[in-house]
Amino acid sequence: MTSSIIASQINKKNDSVLGLATGSTPVGTYRNLVEQYRNGQIDFSHITTVNLDEYCGLEPKHPQSYRFFMDENLLKHVNINAEKIHFPTKNENFDTKIQKIGGIDLQLLGIGHNGHIGFNEPDTVFYNNTRVVKLAPSTINANSRFFDDVANVPKTAITMGMSTIMAARKIVLIAGADKTEIINKLSEDIVSPQFPASILHYHPDCTVILSLE
Separation between Cα atoms, residue 23 and residue 180, nearest integer Å: 16
Separation between Cα atoms, residue 11 and residue 14, nearest integer Å: 6
| DSSP secondary structure letters along 99-147 | HHTT--SEEEE---TT--BTTB-S-SS---S-EEEEPPHHHHHHHGGGS
Q: Which of 89, 107, 114 is nearest to 162 (CA)?
A: 107
| Options 95, 120, 121, 143, the catalytic residue | 121
- Active-site residue 201, yes or no? no
| Options 53, 54, 95, 105, the catalytic residue | 53
| Options 51, 73, 105, 116, the catalytic residue | 116
Q: In which region does residue 76 sit, left (phi positive, over 0), alpha (psi from -120 to 50) or beta (all else)?
A: alpha
| Options 46, 77, 114, 123, the catalytic residue | 114
Separation between Cα atoms, residue 135 and residue 128, nearest integer Å: 17
- Active-site residue 114, yes or no? yes
Instruction: List residues with catalytic annotation.
Output: 53, 114, 116, 121
